[in-house]
Amino acid sequence: MDFKLSALDAVHISAVLDDCVDQLAILGRIMPAQNDPKFKENDEITELIEEQKRLEAMYKQVMSDESLSPKEQETNAAAIAKDIHTNTQAINKSFRRNKTGADDNAAKVQADRRFVHNILESTLREIQTQGTFSTLVNAVNSEKEKKTELLEIVRREEESRKKVKQLQKSLVEVRKEREVEVQKRNEMIAHLKDQLQETKAKTAMESKYIKKDAEVRVACAQRKCQMTETELKDETKDLEHKLEDESRCNAEIESYLKTHHTLLEEKVEFWMDKYDTDIEAKQQELDSLKTAKAQDLARLQELTQKYQEYEKVVQEDKVEKERQRRQEERQLEQLNACTKIQSWWRGVMVRKQLGPYNKKKKKGKKGKKSAKGGKKKKK
């Protein structure tokens, strides 16, 4: 979003910003150098905060990973929580080490001065080139986002501490449950070993019984196969008789179809001739309709062209009449304005006694004498 400025405002603001940039540059030369160890500590704090973000993202990924077992999730989450705790302690130590003091304030003021200097320089270039100040607005919005992000990190840190305590408690409970479960499973294994021995004895007895049963079943199956074999031989003989009957019927049907095939070929030739004659007749009818359609289309185009010409003439006539009406109205307005101006000018000449309405030119010599006598009498 561009915030446009007028040319006068842009010139005024650019002058003010130029002055501010110069003052900030002078202030930067007066203040201590940026190679102060406090600046390095601020960089260390930023690195610790980035590491804290990375560990929180890993913790969320482990807790949301469904491919891991609950035990693996707990162990991985506990390890990451321990790393988060140590990183938080390091951040707190660095904050305590960088607590309020003259050097820290100077470093902070120097960093803020450098940031404001860069923003004002870029804003000044943007105002001089484009007449907008969107860089300044974007910088303010980004600083607001950084502040809210830092507050969100502190809030997440408090929540992670509470969650670590809860996980530690749950880990102790899970360990107790696992020990009880392991004991139960050992007892179950001993019980299953006893059952395994019993099942081995049972399977030996069952195998002997199944072997004898299978031998009896095989003998019975052989007898059934012999019986079915005799039945199938009888059935094949019946099928051979039926096949002879079917072949005889097939020969008779084939002779009947051959006799009727010749009749159908004659009918097909008749209908093919009829189809060709009908097609030729319909084609001629279609050609006549196409020619009629072409003539109608030409007539339609001719009428359409005439209609467009007539419509154009009508529109030109309307435009000409409208022009004449406006010209007459303008002439009438000019005539009324002239009469009003003439009547006003006559009134001015009458009130000012100008031109033919001047009274001094109408007086004679007698008027002058009487005027002189009146002056003497007054004396």
Q: DSSP assignment of 98-158, as one string?
A: T-S-HHHHHHHHHHHHHHHHHHHHHHHHHHHHTSB-HHHHHHHHHHHHHHHHHHHHHHHHH
pLDDT of residue 96: 63
In DSSP notation, 249-288 reads: HHHHHHHHHHHHHHHHHHHHHHHHHHHHHHHHHHHHHHHH
What type of residue is 29? R
The phi and psi torsions of 83 (rounded to 5 degrees) equal: -65, -40
Is residue 295 pLDDT above 80, yes or no?
A: yes
Q: How confident is the model at residue 162 (pLDDT cuts 50, 70, 90)?
A: confident
| Token code pair at residue 255 | 């002779």
Question: Sign of the C-alpha dihedral, residues 24, 29, 32, 33?
Answer: positive
| Token code pair at residue 40 | 């390095």
**What is the distance between the alpha carbons of residues 173 and 167, in angstroms, rounded to a whole number?**
10
Higher pLDDT, 160 or 233: 233
pLDDT of residue 186: 86
CB 91 within 8 A of CB 49: yes
Q: Which of 337, 359, 356, 333 is nearest to 346 (CA)?
A: 356
Is residue 340 pLDDT above 80, yes or no?
A: yes
- 17: Cβ–Cβ under 8 A, 6 or more apart, which residues? 120, 123, 124, 127
| Token code pair at residue 344 | 């006003």
Long-range contacts of 48-53 (CB under 8 A, 24+ apart): 48/87, 48/90, 48/91, 48/94, 49/91, 49/150, 49/153, 51/87, 52/84, 52/87, 52/88, 52/91, 52/153, 52/157, 53/153
CB 31 within 8 A of CB 109: yes
Question: Span 60-89, mean pLDDT?
Answer: 75
| Token code pair at residue 67 | 């491919």
Tens of pLDDT, residues 227-262: 888 888 888 888 888 888 888 888 888 888 888 888
**What is the distance between the alpha carbons of residues 198 and 56, in angstroms, rounded to a whole number?**
55
Q: How confident is the model at residue 105 (pLDDT cuts 50, 70, 90)?
A: low
Is residue 316 pLDDT above 50, yes or no?
A: yes
- 130: Cβ–Cβ under 8 A, 6 or more apart, which residues? 2
Tens of pLDDT, residues 257-294: 888 888 888 888 889 988 888 899 899 999 999 999 99
**What is the distance between the alpha carbons of residues 73 and 143, in angstroms, rounded to a whole number?**
37
Residues above pLDDT 70, as percent of the chain: 75
Which residue(s) pair with 4 in the sheet? 132
Q: Is the pTM of this model over 0.75?
A: no
- 110: Cβ–Cβ under 8 A, 6 or more apart, which residues? 28, 31, 32, 34, 36, 39
Question: Span 67-89, mean pLDDT?
Answer: 74
Q: Which of 56, 84, 65 is nearest to 74 (CA)?
A: 65
Is residue 327 pLDDT above 90, yes or no?
A: yes
Give the chain's largest Cα–Cα span. 184
pLDDT of residue 240: 87
| Token code pair at residue 350 | 């009458």
Residues above pLDDT 90, as percent of the chain: 12
**What is the distance between the alpha carbons of residues 376 and 379, in angstroms, rounded to a whole number?**
5
Tens of pLDDT, residues 118-153: 777 777 777 777 766 677 777 777 778 888 887 887
- List for the chain the helix, strand, coil content (%; round to 5): 90, 0, 10
pLDDT of residue 9: 61
**What is the distance between the alpha carbons of residues 40 and 52, in angstroms, rounded to a whole number?**
18
Terminal Cα distance for the chain, rounded: 91
Mean pLDDT lowest among 65-74, 162-171, 218-227, 238-247: 65-74
pLDDT of residue 34: 45
CA 261 vs. chain centroid, Å, equals 72
